[in-house]
Structure 1
Amino acid sequence: MRQLLLIDDDERLAEPLQQYFAKFEMSLRHETHPLKGIERIKRENFDLIVLDVMLPEIDGFETCRRIRQFSDVPVVMLTARGEVMDRVVGLELGADDYLPKPFEPRELVARIQNIFRRGKTAKQAVSVFQLGELTLDLDKKQLTRNDDEIAITATEYELLRLLVQNQERVLSRDEIMQSLRGIDADIYSRAIDVLISRLRHKLDRPELIRTVRGQGYQLVNR
């Protein structure tokens, strides 16, 4: 059974979600305080975190940033605010998906299952790609530089895998969006740009991913 953690100060939300998630072989634990949630993530092994933006003391954005300092566990952010910029900020901080409140529990489950599906598909591919001093191992779902692992999120990994497996071909934003279905379509253009920028920074080789004006992005491994 998958182990998930909900960090949300709304006590009324947790119980019905826990009951619903159980139908899909998911055990949903709950913390109302972000700092306690962070400590719990350090102690226990979770497959995914569901994180509310509006939290006491520190908000969900800061909570996500702190989680990313020590863990690459997938994060789905929830918010009662629907601003596009909130979603973009969440992606910039390493969230894998973003769902506005109110939401249907089935949609949240579907998005979570999609994240797990992407991870499972990646594990089934046994292949290693060399990008200079960088190595992407699709079997281990691991990116390394000279044998030192580089921490990337599930969404960043999926984007890099897509680019690497389509080397030298220009991928349009629509193509990338189809692979990264967890990102809301109404913000896909900016969201893809954010993910590309974040990935370039982590690779520390911005020339690897080339922007083709009016067309999309291309991985150039030379």
Structure 2
Amino acid sequence: MNKQVKVLVIEDDPYICDLIFLYTEKSGYQVSIANDGITGLGMFYDRPPDLVILDIMLPEMDGWEVCEEIRRFDKTPIIMLTGRGESYDKLKGFSLGADDYLIKPFDPNELMARIKAVLRRANPMLIGNEIIKLPLLEINLQQYKVTFKDREIELPPKEMELLYFLALHRNQVFTRQQLLEQLWGLDYEGDSRTVDVHIKRIRDKLGESNSYWKVKTIRGI
């Protein structure tokens, strides 16, 4: 990360707070916790975070009110937590401006995946360097520009983001599903082969005759 991402957790259940704190801190985030809505809102204004994890059922001021108040002035990403899974709650959360919605009990690894996905959609620069430089290749996500062998290569936004993600996580292997979740979102319902199509287009534009690096497929994975 080019900066430590600040996460504000507004949740009154001590066990859930401890669980979220453990996983988010392990992932490299800077975490603050409030146990009621009014305190949480005050912490939000005193030290603006990059993302808010917000419970719905809170003392003093519920999550709906907190979300609505934040959205009056700010677009900081919000992931809402609730023990209820009714579609009405989801629709209300999204109508108030929530970016994602997770039902308790939840897998903390899924929460981490959703945090990354929401941060990437809101501000890709939060999860990596603005410019990645490899031999013969420069990827500038701030300007959405790729330079290869000293010439600019035209890449649509999704191809750009995919190339950036792979270059940011060099020597790591990702399944199609992982790439879809990271770049297309957890709710993507299209064909998983769209990843193959984008990879092929990237290879066609950058070529394979490069001894410094390559976009490599691990068959079966």
TM-score calculated relative to the size of structure 2: 0.56
Q: 1:99 to 1:31 in 2, by over 3 A?
A: same
Q: Is the 8 A contact 1:68 1:94 kept in 2?
A: yes
Could you tell me which residue of structure 2 aligns to residue 181 of structure 1?
185
* Unaligned stretches of 5+ residues in structure 1: 128-160, 163-176, 186-222
Residue 80 (structure 2) pairs with residue 45 (structure 1): no
Structure 2 residue matching 1:56: 3-state secondary structure: coil
More strand by share: 1
- The correspondence for 2:65, drawn from 62, 65, 81, is 62
TM superposition shift of 1:57: 2.9
Q: Quick one: which amino acid aligns to residue 65 of structure 2?
A: E
The alignment-based identity, stated in percent, is 36
Q: 1:182 to 1:38 in 2, by over 3 A?
A: farther
| 1:17 equivalent in structure 2 | 20
Q: For the residues of structure 2 that align with 1:50 and 1:35, how far apart are their CA atoms?
A: 15
Q: 1:126, CA displacement in angstroms?
A: 3.1
Deviations 1:55-103 (A, max 9, x none): 1132211110011112211000000000011011100000000001110
Q: Is contact 1:98–1:184 with CA below 8 Å preserved after alignment?
A: no
Whole-Å Cα distance in 2 between the matches of residues 2 and 101 of structure 1? Answer: 24
How well do the aligned residues superpose, as a CA RMSD in angstroms? 2.6
Q: CA deviation at 1:180?
A: 6.0
Equivalent position amino acid for 2:116 in 1: Q
**In the alignment, does 2:15 pair up with 1:8?**
no
> Is the 2:82–2:103 Cα contact (8 Å) retained in structure 1?
yes
Aligned pair in 2 of structure 1 residues 178, 13: CA closer, same or farther (>3 Å)? closer
- Are 2:147 and 1:126 equivalent residues in the alignment? no
* Residues 164-211 of structure 1 deviation map (CA, whole Å, 9 limit, x = unaligned): xxxxxxxxxxxxx997625597xxxxxxxxxxxxxxxxxxxxxxxxxx
User: What's the counterpart of residue 76 of structure 1?
Assistant: 79
Query: Which residue in the other structure is 2:35 paired with?
Result: 32
Distance 2:37 2:184 in 1: 27
Structure (1 or 2) with the larger CA radius of gyration: 2
Give the number of equivalent residue pairs.
138
Inter-CA distance 178–16: structure 2 relative to 1 (3 Å threshold): closer
Q: Counterpart amino acid of 1:96?
A: D
In the alignment, residue 181 of structure 1 is paired with which amino acid? G
Cα 1:183–1:53 shift into 2, 3 Å: farther
TM-score in terms of structure 1 length: 0.56
Name the SS of the counterpart of 2:76 in structure 1: coil
Check conservation: 1:34, 1:56, Cα contact below 8 A: yes
Instruction: Name the counterpart of 1:111.
Output: 114
Match of 2:165 in 1: none
Report if the CA contact (8 A) 2:116-2:182 is conserved.
Answer: no
